[in-house]
Structure 1
Amino acid sequence: MDKSAKLKIQLETILYGKAWYGKPIYDIIELVSFEAAYEKPTGASHNIADIIMHMLAWTEEVSTRMQGKPAGAPIRGNWPGAGKPDEQKWQQLLSFFKLANTELTQLIANFPVESWTDATNDGRGEYSEYGLTYEAMITGLMQHHVYHAGQISLLNKMING
């Protein structure tokens, strides 16, 4: 199996597969009610909907970088915020998040295997031992997704007991 296929499978695993650490992200967010998504427990920096917006923003940014565009802040902003509670908007947000990840997995699957160790179009400096490679960027996004999935799980437990 080549690197593109391996990275695609790794992302799919954390999204909806059998991740070794527990529930995949889509299972975690399916447990979140609309009401819980917009509730912010005392002491929390963000609510669950805000975290999903943040994850969506960075997924979209990584997809643009995979296409050779210069690195920058996400078009939506780093923490764009989910706004006022709205059940339809919540369902739409989940759909956008899933679509963005589907698009990213396709970019990964079609990425030239020999280019994974190439430097991305990012002049900000290194962010991992791998440098600014496409592989490091995708690995970093997967770590970012898992980190925030843990936050979502904890927030949902705080809200629902």
Structure 2
Amino acid sequence: MSTTAEKLEQKLTNVLYGEPWYGTPIYTIMERVTFETAFEKPSHSAHNIAEIVLHMFSWTEEVMDRLNGVPAGVPVSGDWPPPGAPDEEKWKLWVSDFKLVNVNLVNVIRNFPADEWDQPINDTRGNEPVTTYAELVDGFIEHQVYHAGQIALLTRIING
């Protein structure tokens, strides 16, 4: 029987680079994005792809912090960090950093104490429903899939 950590690790790695049930994994979607496409913002779009990737990255860091006992809050780098001016090297670095931060998250999940998965996260804000560590990671995976879908759609809109 699989442990909670094993199930969550498998689910996360599957959506990142495996064969998720819904189609294309996140890394494949991101690797198809050129830096020009990443920084283009279609009219009526709330965010461009670069903004979405930075958002996904910052929330990966926030989830790791929470798994490490840091009280829940807004990510240190911000909820929607500004991407700044278009830059090809910066884009390549973000894609690489996104993969690296997910390697780190997988390690945190793998080493998380088994008896704490069903415990509530450290959330002193008082305005959020009680969330367990297992629910946090599961919801985070759904969050990443949602934004990967946005990236795929924006890429199709921009590139035709």
TM superposition score category, shorter chain reference: over 0.9
The corresponding residue for 2:141 is 142
Q: Identity of aligned pairs, percent?
A: 50
How much has 1:123 moved relative to structure 2?
2.5
How much has 1:95 moved relative to structure 2?
1.1
Cα deviation per residue 1:70-109 (whole Å; 9 max; x = unaligned)?
1111011000121110000000111111111110010001
Is the 8 Å Cα contact of residues 120 and 133 (structure 1) preserved in structure 2? yes
User: What amino acid does structure 2 have at the position aligned with 1:139?
Assistant: D
The corresponding residue for 1:35 is 36
The corresponding residue for 1:59 is 60
Q: Distance in 2 between matches of 1:83 and 1:16?
A: 28
The corresponding residue for 2:14 is 13
Q: Distance in 2 between matches of 1:78 and 1:27?
A: 24
**Gap runs ≥5 in structure 2:** none
Q: Size of the alignment, in residue pairs?
A: 158
Q: Secondary structure at the match of 2:86?
A: coil
**Is 1:158–2:157 an aligned residue pair?**
yes
The corresponding residue for 2:101 is 100
Q: Secondary structure at the match of 1:45?
A: coil
Is the 8 Å Cα contact of residues 13 and 24 (structure 1) preserved in structure 2? yes
Q: Distance in 2 between matches of 1:34 and 1:13?
A: 25
Q: Secondary structure at the match of 2:73?
A: coil
Taking structure 1 as the reference length, the TM-score comes to: 0.95
Q: Distance in 2 between matches of 1:33 and 1:144?
A: 23
Q: Distance in 1 between matches of 2:88 and 2:128?
A: 40
**Gap runs ≥5 in structure 1:** none
**Is 1:85–2:86 an aligned residue pair?**
yes
User: What amino acid does structure 2 have at the position aligned with 1:63?
Assistant: M
User: What amino acid does structure 2 have at the position aligned with 1:36?
Assistant: T
The corresponding residue for 1:46 is 47
Q: Distance in 2 between matches of 1:96 and 1:16?
A: 15
Taking structure 2 as the reference length, the TM-score comes to: 0.96
Q: Distance in 2 between matches of 1:15 and 1:122?
A: 27
Is the 8 Å Cα contact of residues 54 and 81 (structure 1) preserved in structure 2? no
